[in-house]
Amino acid sequence: MTSTTIVAQQVGRTSLAKKHPAILMASLGALAVLLSFYGLSVGATDVSLGDVLRALVGDTSTQASQIVVQFQLPRVLLCWLVGTALAVSGGVMQGVIRNPLAAPDIIGVTKGAGFAGMLMLLAIPGLPVVAVVPAAFLGGLAAAGIVYLLAYRRGATPVRIALVGIAVSAAFEAGIRFLLVRNPLDVSAALIWLTGSLFGRSMTSVLEILPWVLVLVPLIVVWSRKLDVLGLGDDLAAGLGEPVEKTRRLLLFFSVALAAAAVAVAGTIGFVGLIAPHMARRVFGGKHMASIPAAALFGVLLMLIADMIGRGLAPPLEIPAGLVTAVVGGPYFLYLLVKTGK
C-alpha cells in the first residue's frame, strides 16, 4: 500500500467525521448511556434490568434496587468522571507536547501522583481521600517537571520522551513499593486506593472528583483553539500572538490537575489517557474543539467496559479496572512506540 493511498484513506475518514460530527458525537454519548444502564446490573449479585429501572426512578423497596443505588451507581458515575478526566488530560498532553506517546501514565504523572498520595495516606492514617488530591497533584506536577527537564534538555523526540517517562514512572513505582515494604501494617487503606479499582467507592468519591471535572474540562474545551495554535509550532504560534510558554504551562497545569484528581479517587488506572485521544483523532481529526470532547466520551466508554469486565468476568472475584486497561493498553503503547520511532 502506497503512502498516497494511506493519506487518501485518512482524509476520507476525517471527511466523513466532518460531515456528521454531531451525529457521531451523539452516537458515542448514546452508547455510553446504554452501557451505563447495562453496567448497573453487572456484578456478583444478580440484578435484573427491571431492578435497575426501578432504582433509577426512586423505588428502593427491594434489596436489588438498593444494591444498584448504593454500590453500582457510584461506580458508573465514577467511570464517567474518571474516564473523562484521564482522557482529556491525555489529549491536552499530546497536544501541548505535540507527541502522540504523551499520556498521564506514560510520562510518569500517574505514578508520581500515586506515590505522593500513598505517602500522604501512610503518613496520616484515616485521612479522607479528598485530602489526598493536593498531594497527588503536587506529585503529578513534580513527575511532569522531571520528565520535561530531562527530555527537553537537548531536544526531544517522541521516543525520547516516552523512554524518559517510562524511567520516571519506574522510579516512582519503586518508591511506591518501598513504602509498601516499609509500612506493612499500615498499607490496607493505601492498597485499596492504589489498585486502580472502583471497588467500594461511594457517592463521596463522586463528589470529590466532580468539581475538578466540572471546572477544568470546560476550561480546556474553551482553550482548545489554543492547542491548535500550539500545534503549528512555537515560532508560528508566537507570530500569531500566542504567549507560547504561558499557554503551555497553564494547559499542562490543567492536565496534571485532572490526572491527579482521577488518581486520588480511583488509583493508578493506566492507558486511558493514551488510547482515548488517539481514538478521537482517528474519528474526528486533529481539531481539538472536536477531539477533546470525543476523547472524553471514548475515555468513558473504556472505563465502563473495563469496570464491567472486572466485575462480570469471574464473580465474586473482581479484577481491578486498571488491570483490564493495562492488558489492552500495553500492546497498544508498544504499537505506537514502534510506529512513532520509524
Per-residue confidence band for 12, with pLDDT thresholds at 50, 70 and 90: very low
What's the pLDDT at 9? 36
State how far the alpha carbon of 149 is from the alpha carbons of 17, 60, 127, 217, 231, in Å.
38, 54, 33, 26, 20
Residue 151 has pLDDT above 90, yes or no: no
The residue segments making up the domain with residue 69 are: 19-341
Please list, in sequence order, all residues whose beta carbon lies within 8 angstroms of the beta carbon of residue 127, skipping any fewer than 6 positions away. Answer: 120, 121
Residue 3 has pLDDT above 60, yes or no: no
CATH code, domain with 40? 1.10.3470.10
Residue 331 has pLDDT above 80, yes or no: yes
- Does 316 sit behind a cis peptide bond, omega within 30 degrees of 0 on the bond before it? yes
With respect to residue 233, please indicate whether it lies within any of the assigned structural domains. Answer: yes
Q: What is the mean pLDDT of residues 9-17?
A: 47
Residue 6 has pLDDT above 70, yes or no: no
CA nearest to 29, candidates 245, 300, 340: 300
With respect to residue 4, please indicate whether it lies within any of the assigned structural domains. Answer: no
With respect to residue 337, please indicate whether it lies within any of the assigned structural domains. Answer: yes
Q: What are phi and psi of 323, to 5 degrees?
A: -70, -40
With respect to residue 10, please indicate whether it lies within any of the assigned structural domains. Answer: no
What's the pLDDT at 4? 35
For the entire predicted model, the pTM comes to 0.86
Could you please report the per-residue DSSP string of 161-187?
A: HHHHHHHHHHHHHHHHHHHHHH-TTS-
With respect to residue 12, please indicate whether it lies within any of the assigned structural domains. Answer: no
What's the pLDDT at 188? 65
Per-residue confidence band for 17, with pLDDT thresholds at 50, 70 and 90: low
With respect to residue 334, please indicate whether it lies within any of the assigned structural domains. Answer: yes
Per-residue confidence band for 183, with pLDDT thresholds at 50, 70 and 90: confident
Percent of the chain exceeding pLDDT 70 equals 87
Q: What is the mean pLDDT of residues 90-116?
A: 86
What's the pLDDT at 11? 40
Q: What are phi and psi of 288, to 5 degrees?
A: -70, -20
What's the pLDDT at 98? 81
User: Domain count of the chain?
Assistant: 1
With respect to residue 274, please indicate whether it lies within any of the assigned structural domains. Answer: yes
With respect to residue 306, please indicate whether it lies within any of the assigned structural domains. Answer: yes
